[in-house]
Structure 1
Amino acid sequence: MTLSTPTPTNIQQQTQTLINHYQKATLIKPDSATLYQDIGNLYRSLREFEPAIVYYLKAIELKPDLFSVYSPLNFLLQFISWSSEQNKNQIITQGIHILKQNIINQPKFPFAHVVLGRLYTQKGEIETAKDCYQKASFKQINRSYPHLIQHWNSSTQRQPNFLGIGLFKCGTASLYSYLIQHPQILPAVTKEIRYFSNTTINDLEYYLSHFPAICHPNYLTGEVTPNYFTFPNVAQQIKDWFPQIKLILLLRNPIQRAISGFYWGNKLAYQYLNKSLDGIHHLDLDLVQEKISDIKEKQKLSLYKRIELRNQWLDCLRETWRKNLDINHEIAFHIAHSLYIDYLPEWSRVFSKEQLLILRIEDLFTNPQNIMKQAYHFLGLPDHPLTEYRNANRNKYPPISPSLHQQLADFFRPYNEQLEDYLGLKFNW
């Protein structure tokens, strides 16, 4: 018996049915924070972010130490602009009240300040948001590096020494977790600040408020945001602000990255009823190419139009997420971001070879100690072997059919060859 893949419409209907059941359950257990979190997850899967945020906030109000809800809440708050002005203001006001109360209840949880900073950012109170991020950083450093607090100087903001610029599903979570275990690397308030791609605020001090205010020459700091690499015009803005910064780029076999990205995206979207490539033997590559061209066309904006680009990106996401797209349209996005040669020249033009370290994820996971030694040397740090190298944010998914794999291999081959010729390296993909 062959089971067909659920269509988006069926998934949405089944998800809405689940929401109705969970909402009835809250009448029986009105104090169950996990129920509200589950409803928030379901609304997130439908890309209905406003009710998702409301339910996440209710979960935190009921259980301030339900730490698993803070990260998705922080991510979804960037989409609060999609709400009406009245609803946006009401949610932000409620959120600030709940988070301020939460910080009183959970004084040792720095990330609560990060979420509060996000709320104040959306409210337009940037100075207050900066203060929230610095409080989060202070608590984080005080917890992990108490001996460095004597060097804290809130009047002097620390610039990042390095950035991880990409890519999604290329081991950036693992890389960052390894880096911040080095005794001379101080973490930012969160791994992904997403400033240069997802923020409309043009304020250097706002960005720097995400880093610890410790200007000690023996310590470095930085962040890793995977979509910097594929976002247009980011390289030049980073160069303008931080001309000496060092960049780390992780690349992966483009077939594996595209497939992993597809499943990762649908896991975020359809958490309970995942879409699948199982049974797919052939993609309409003409349609994929058409979608790729559309993506690239939407990215063509001049250097100083980052706010317009950000708004266009959000509108594009909203338009895409509210459509019932077929597999060809959905996977085109992930294929487009696996065409590394389309993005690399911009970075190579702006930054010198000495400022850009390119690593293969395959090497990171087969020989992590050696690859991290290269990374530390690139950053000017002594080696620091770890007792364990965990694969963070592992994404499990079924293998694709041999015919689909061959089709994608044929598609990516000329792009991979161009990349190898451009860098003078062999990736053996």
Structure 2
Amino acid sequence: MNLSTPTPTNIEQQTQTLINHYQKATLIKPNSAKVYQDIGNLYRSLREFEPATIYYLKAIELKPDLFSVYYPLNFLLQFISWSSEQNKNQILTQGIHLLKQNIIHQPNFPFAHVVLGRLYAQQGEIEKAKDCYQKASFKQINRSYPHLIQHWNSSTQRQPDFLVIGLFKCGTTSFYSYLIQHPQILPAVTKEIRYFSSDFINDLEYYLSHFPAISKNNYLTGEATPNYFTFPNVAQQIKDWFPNIKLILLLRKPIKRAISGFYWGNQFSYRYLNKSLNSIHHLDLNLVQERITEIKEIRKLSFHQPWLSLLAEQSKQNSNINHEIAFHIASSLYIDYLPEWFKVFPKEQLLILKSEDLFTDPEKTMKQAYHFLGLPDHPLTEYRNANRNPYPPISPSLYQQLADFFRPYNQALEDYLGRAFNWE
């Protein structure tokens, strides 16, 4: 492997050095919320989720309206069980106190209720968590659809009509943002609930509390969690609860998805250190294949032993570019996951969209989605890319190596579906 950029091991060392630099900056600027946010971002890039959470909480303590911190904080809180019981309790107690105060001062920011709900859920206060989610949903609907509040019925819970099950870095954020602009689609409290792939709470009412309690039947609701697609047994769990639900899957050219996913997963280290992969010419595909096999075995574990924690731990033990990128390559082997969904759901309940079609002709692609959901077309005046992740080009030799690797998997997918994706 020819590298002029640092290996992930060196990147981790440089990231830790940068963290030390930022920590010294807090002595000079103790009230700078942005500095604490930056430290949280860097710890998150190292998969050190406990200190990342602590620094994010400190950032919003200093600046309650620093809304960009709430979303990564909500994501990290699902992994707080990794912490020792004492540290977990301290973080949850501090976070609940802080969010309750912030809600008082930020009444028009419904997502603060969502984060508070996550904190309560991790504390085992499920009823309080459900109440937070419903308050967030009520505020969202009252702000965007005030005429529907008369149909709010807190004594009943609304089931989702659709799920966008994948895949991350395939345009799901943009796609969901277009969907919820349809006048007959009501959003969940957050795009990604991640219930079936990471939540430890086996409670239907808890899950349903994330959706608006609107009783009118001519409105639809749903969520978009991109990693549902790659988790074993998720299809059956969804089927058990919602046998008639409609599923939407976006698939992107695997090379593009894998590289974009790599930069997304390492965004903070590469952004702060100004590094890129454009000097990498070759991967050791034997190591990559070995790592993919390990990842598939880890994903089969129970939710009570979070697979992501094991992946993070193994990444620290095997810090080289082959192991880092293997996770994103594994998620791009679509044929490995799709048959499980079709074993459970009939094909008419699953719409597969090509991401490139969404990128080049969003109006036509959304028309397909609306038709699938039984809704009239609703063209938008603008189709904004909601989650851009620009990255430098990779070398032609690496591109060709990845193209050769993915070719048999892509061909198998086309044969299975009887559909050409033209990803060469």
TM range (shorter): over 0.9
- Corresponding residue for 2:163? 163
CA deviation string 1:100-135 (max 9, x = no partner) = 000000001000000000100110111110101000
Asked if 1:299 corresponds to 2:307, the answer is no
- Corresponding residue for 1:230? 230
Shift of 1:237: 0.5
CA contact (8 A) 2:334 2:413 kept: yes
Shift of 1:251: 0.4
Asked if 1:323 corresponds to 2:323, the answer is no
Shift of 1:215: 2.0
- Corresponding residue for 2:132? 132
Shift of 1:231: 0.5
Structure 1 stretch displaced more, 282-291 or 191-200: 282-291
Structure 2 unaligned regions, length at least 5: none
CA deviation string 1:386-413 (max 9, x = no partner) = 0011112111111222222122111111
Alignment of 1:14-413 (within 5 A): 14-268=14-268, 270-273=270-273, 276-300=276-300, 308-323=302-317, 325-413=319-407
State the superposition RMSD in angstroms. Answer: 1.6
SS in 2 for 1:181: coil
CA distance in 2, matches of 1:22, 1:388: 39
Judging changes above 3 Å, is the alpha-carbon distance between structure 1 residues 110 and 289 closer, same or farther for their aligned structure 2 residues? Answer: same
CA distance in 2, matches of 1:35, 1:400: 32
Shift of 1:418: 1.1
Structure 1 stretch displaced more, 34-43 or 248-257: 34-43
- Which residue type is aligned with residue 185 of structure 2? I
CA contact (8 A) 1:137 1:188 kept: yes
CA distance in 2, matches of 1:28, 1:289: 47
CA deviation string 1:68-111 (max 9, x = no partner) = 11011111111211111111101100110000000000001000
CA distance in 2, matches of 1:253, 1:3: 25
CA contact (8 A) 2:92 2:119 kept: yes
CA distance in 2, matches of 1:271, 1:78: 25
Shift of 1:309: 3.5
- Which residue type is aligned with residue 237 of structure 1? Q
Shift of 1:67: 0.5
Shift of 1:273: 2.2
SS in 1 for 2:266: helix
SS in 2 for 1:420: helix
Asked if 1:426 corresponds to 2:414, the answer is no
CA distance in 1, matches of 2:402, 2:65: 45
- Which residue type is aligned with residue 190 of structure 2? T
CA contact (8 A) 2:45 2:265 kept: no
**Taking every aligned residue pair, what percent have the same amino acid on both sides?**
83
CA contact (8 A) 1:165 1:227 kept: yes
Judging changes above 3 Å, is the alpha-carbon distance between structure 1 residues 9 and 325 closer, same or farther for their aligned structure 2 residues? Answer: closer
Shift of 1:322: 2.8
CA distance in 1, matches of 2:14, 2:398: 29
- TM-score when scaled to structure 1? 0.95
Higher-RCO chain (CA-CA 8 Å, sequence separation at least 6): 2
CA distance in 2, matches of 1:12, 1:98: 31
CA deviation string 1:221-251 (max 9, x = no partner) = 0000000000000000100100110000000
CA contact (8 A) 1:267 1:274 kept: no
CA distance in 2, matches of 1:290, 1:25: 42
SS in 2 for 1:222: strand
CA deviation string 1:288-332 (max 9, x = no partner) = 11111122222335xxxxxx2451404313313433521111111
Structure 1 unaligned regions, length at least 5: 302-307
The number of residues matched between the two structures is 422
CA distance in 1, matches of 2:309, 2:38: 27
